[in-house]
């Protein structure tokens, strides 16, 4: 069977999917095709044993899935995440990279501005991030692997995933509350900027300072996100205040309400901190990332008063620990920026 490049463009009506993210799906929820120009050819049938399919797939191979089947596949991918996170046949770094790829595959269409956030999509986001969070509560090694393999080229979904993972890990590190409370930090972190779908691209991607009117539009993403989630679910979930408060700042300089520290929930303060940190340390089309050290320095000095000193201190301790531990993780050598925190 010829190898398929991951970058083969999909024909109309099909979406590509990399074989490596299907590893822990069982059984196959839909037909898989391969590109054998001039048309896709059936490779494996719905209900089949995916282990056999994967075993004969070549490294780097990708399949095609009919667009009408993609929701089925995304549901199966989300259900497979707990097995991926615990898969002893892969190294922690491989598991982490696979989990990130799966969450990205699930989130990209949900986070696109073309699709309104509906009930099923919202529940799928919960399922995806919960599968990761539950495992992170139990497996210290996977925490370090996930921090070490975070994607730092910012896109809406990567920033969402990073904020959720940093948030859950920091909440666990600080013993912020029960597993449910930590799950809520992850869900709130994942969805904190979902309202940016409602901000026009010319404002969102403007590579220069926003004027007063544009700022007002940008700030509307907080209420828009809160309302989208409540509308999709039919009631306000226990994490929705995180979405509504993630731009409030301890000194009252934030928005939308300009609350001060005592009026901002601790978990929302925590998400506000990891959100700012990930934004500063990620590459954007119009600016280079700053190092983790510089980001934390900015947050403690130039932004003094905006963030809880105590939570920032705990975050520094957490990232400092990463420096020592990732040195021993195979494949984790590309995260010098984060490791410099302790340097």
Question: Is 130 among the residues that bind Fe ion (CB under 5 A)?
Answer: no
Closer to Fe ion by CB, 84 or 203: give it. 203
Shortest distance in whole angstroms from residue 229 CB to Fe ion: 14
Closer to Fe ion by CB, 5 or 112: give it. 112
In this structure, how many other beta carbons lie within 10 angstroms of the beta carbon of residue 62? Answer: 23
Closer to Fe ion by CB, 193 or 245: give it. 193
Shortest distance in whole angstroms from residue 186 CB to Fe ion: 16
Residue nearest to Fe ion (CB): 193
Closer to Fe ion by CB, 4 or 281: give it. 281
Shortest distance in whole angstroms from residue 300 CB to Fe ion: 20
Restricted to residues 159-198, the positions that interact with Fe ion (CB under 5 A) are 193
Shortest distance in whole angstroms from residue 247 CB to Fe ion: 6
Closer to Fe ion by CB, 6 or 215: give it. 215
Q: Applying CB under 5 A, what is the total number of residues that bind Fe ion?
A: 1
> Rule CB under 5 A: which residues touch Fe ion?
193
């Amino acid at each position: 069977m010829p190898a398929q490049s991951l970058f083969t463009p999909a024909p109309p009506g099909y979406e590509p999917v990399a074989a490596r993210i299907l590893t822990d799906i069982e059984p196959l929820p839909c037909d898989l095709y391969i590109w054998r120009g001039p048309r896709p050819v059936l490779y494996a049938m719905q209900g089949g044993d995916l282990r056999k399919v994967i075993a004969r797939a070549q490294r780097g191979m990708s399949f095609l899935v009919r667009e009408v089947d993609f929701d089925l596949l995304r549901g199966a991918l989300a259900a497979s995440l707990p097995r991926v996170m615990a898969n002893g046949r892969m190294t922690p770094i491989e598991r982490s990279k696979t989990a990130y790829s799966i969450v990205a595959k699930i989130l990209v269409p949900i986070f696109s501005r073309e699709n309104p956030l509906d009930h099923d999509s919202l529940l799928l986001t919960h399922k995806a991030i919960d599968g990761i969070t539950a495992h992170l509560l139990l497996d210290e090694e996977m925490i370090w692997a996930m921090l070490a393999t975070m994607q730092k080229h910012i896109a809406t979904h990567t920033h969402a995933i990073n904020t959720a993972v940093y948030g859950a890990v920091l909440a666990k590190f600080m013993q912020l509350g029960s597993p449910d409370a930590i799950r809520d930090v992850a869900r709130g972190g994942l969805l904190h900027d979902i309202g940016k779908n409602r901000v026009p691209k010319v404002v969102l991607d403007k590579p220069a300072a926003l004027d007063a009117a544009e700022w007002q539009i940008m700030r509307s993403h907080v209420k828009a996100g809160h309302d989208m989630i409540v509308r999709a679910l039919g009631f306000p979930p226990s994490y929705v205040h995180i979405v509504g408060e993630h731009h409030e700042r301890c000194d009252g300089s934030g928005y939308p309400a300009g609350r001060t520290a005592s009026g901002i929930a601790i978990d929302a303060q925590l998400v506000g901190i990891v959100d700012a940190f990930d934004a500063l340390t990620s590459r954007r089309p119009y600016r280079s990332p700053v190092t983790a050290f510089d980001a934390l320095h900015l947050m403690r000095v130039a932004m003094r008063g905006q963030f809880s000193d105590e939570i920032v201190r705990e975050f520094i301790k957490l990232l400092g620990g990463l420096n020592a531990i990732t040195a021993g993780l195979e494949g984790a050598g590309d995260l010098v920026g984060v490791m410099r925190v302790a340097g």
